A = this chain, B = another copy of it.
Amino acid sequence: MNTQASKKSNVSKWLVDNVIYVVLILLVVGIVIASPDFLSMTNLINILSQSSSRIIIALGVAGILITAGTDLSAGRMVGLAAVISASLLQATDYAYKMYPNLPDLPLFVPILVAMAATGLIATLNGIVVSKLHVPPFIATLGMMIGVYGLTSIYFDRPPYGAQPIGGLSEKFTNFAQRGIPVGSYEIPYLVIYAIITTVIIWVIWNKTQLGKNMYAIGGNPEAAKVSGVNVARNIIIIYMIAGLLYGFSGTLEAGRVGSATNNTGNMYELDAIAACVVGGVSLSGGIGTVPGVVTGVLIFQIINYGLAFLGVSPYIQYIVKGLIIVVAVAFDMRKHAKKK
């Protein structure tokens, strides 16, 4: 009797603790019931590849959230990186090149330039937050507005003015659009980049001092300081890493879409933050895991993809999406329900 009861309570405890994975599964089951042909390799690959660049962004944002910060400028940085990398990787024979005389650059140069730019900007965010003690919401809101101005200035220039930057070199689009053939399918490179990034971030969070410090700072900044953590330096590094991730993700976006404008990435931060919270990251800091974040993004993407696949009318999609987010988190909150 007793062991059975405790087994049962163990299962229900596991369910409560892992609600988001349950939500993920329920979602898929629900969609499959509504439309059995949802269960196909193509859909799986589509969802994974669509989630990839979002996972990379979300992992950057999540680190910042865990330090009890936030980053509203993430989306705009993605846009900046997209515009920079696209402008440096237009096909040499394309008629409307931003830099008509630019030679064909090796792929890694524009990626590094874009990552350097966003890394720098994010570092500035970190400095403003940790040294000037500006609340992260405001620091990054200011940055979000400022970076948009900056991107627009870079983007809207002679000779062709504010034109979407297209005509990307094949090398670049292949990098983001192709994949490794496996049987009759292709595993998109995007998915592989996302996996590699996820592993790296997992190691940083779990196996390095920086990771532990990140949790400490978010959990109790005063205690972290007294415990000998250099709070400011660690915060700056966490923001910087996020910036590098945005930069990488931005180049992937440009490659994936085949063009970039100053509007690329707009509002990505909201999706990223929401996905993190759905994935169990606490907005008050100190709590969050890599698998949780990845699951949060997947849940979002399955909602997006699934609703479109089911052919739900676009406006209804908004309502359903809003509802699912709230309900998923409401269930997840039950594990924190301390009282009673």
Contacts and interface: CB of A to CB of B under 8 A. Distances in A.
Contacts of A138: 274, 277-278, 325-326, 329
A146 interface: yes
- Most chain B CB within 10 A, of A133, A138, A325, is at A138
A137 B318 contact: no
A153 interface: yes
Contacts of A139: 326, 329
Given A132-B330, A149-B318, A330-B132, A141 B323 contact: no
Interface in A80-130: 128
Contacts of A144: 322
A323 B135 contact: no
Nearest to A282: B135
A336 interface: yes
A270 B314 CA distance: 24
- How many copies the complex holds: the figure is 2
Contacts of A133: 330, 333, 336-337
A11 interface: no
B322 A143 contact: yes
A254 interface: no
Q: How large is the interface on A (under 10, 10 to 19, 20 to 34, 35 or more residues)?
A: 35 or more
Given A132-B333, A134-B329, A283-B137, A142 B315 contact: no
Given A135-B283, A137-B283, A318 B277 contact: no
Interface in A296-340: 314-319, 321-323, 325-326, 329-330, 333, 336-337
Contact of A145 (B134, B149, B322, B337): B322
B141 A319 contact: no
A185 to B, nearest CB: 33
B128 A325 contact: no
A77 interface: no
Contact of A329 (B135, B147, B149, B277): B135
A135 B156 CA distance: 39
Contact of A274 (B128, B141, B149, B330): B141
CB-based closest 3 A-B pairs = A149-B318, A146-B322, A142-B326
Interface of A: 72, 128, 132-135, 137-139, 141-150, 152-153, 156, 270, 273-274, 277-278, 283, 314-319, 321-323, 325-326, 329-330, 333, 336-337
30 contacts: A128-B330, A132-B330, A133-B337, A134-B326, A134-B330, A135-B277, A135-B333, A137-B273, A138-B274, A138-B278, A138-B329, A139-B326, A139-B329, A141-B325, A142-B323, A142-B325, A143-B322, A145-B318, A145-B322, A145-B325, A146-B318, A146-B323, A148-B318, A149-B316, A149-B318, A149-B321, A149-B322, A150-B315, A152-B315, A153-B315
Given A138-B326, A141-B325, A143-B326, 15 more contacts: A132-B333, A133-B333, A133-B337, A134-B326, A134-B330, A137-B277, A137-B283, A141-B322, A142-B321, A142-B329, A144-B322, A146-B322, A150-B319, A152-B314, A156-B315
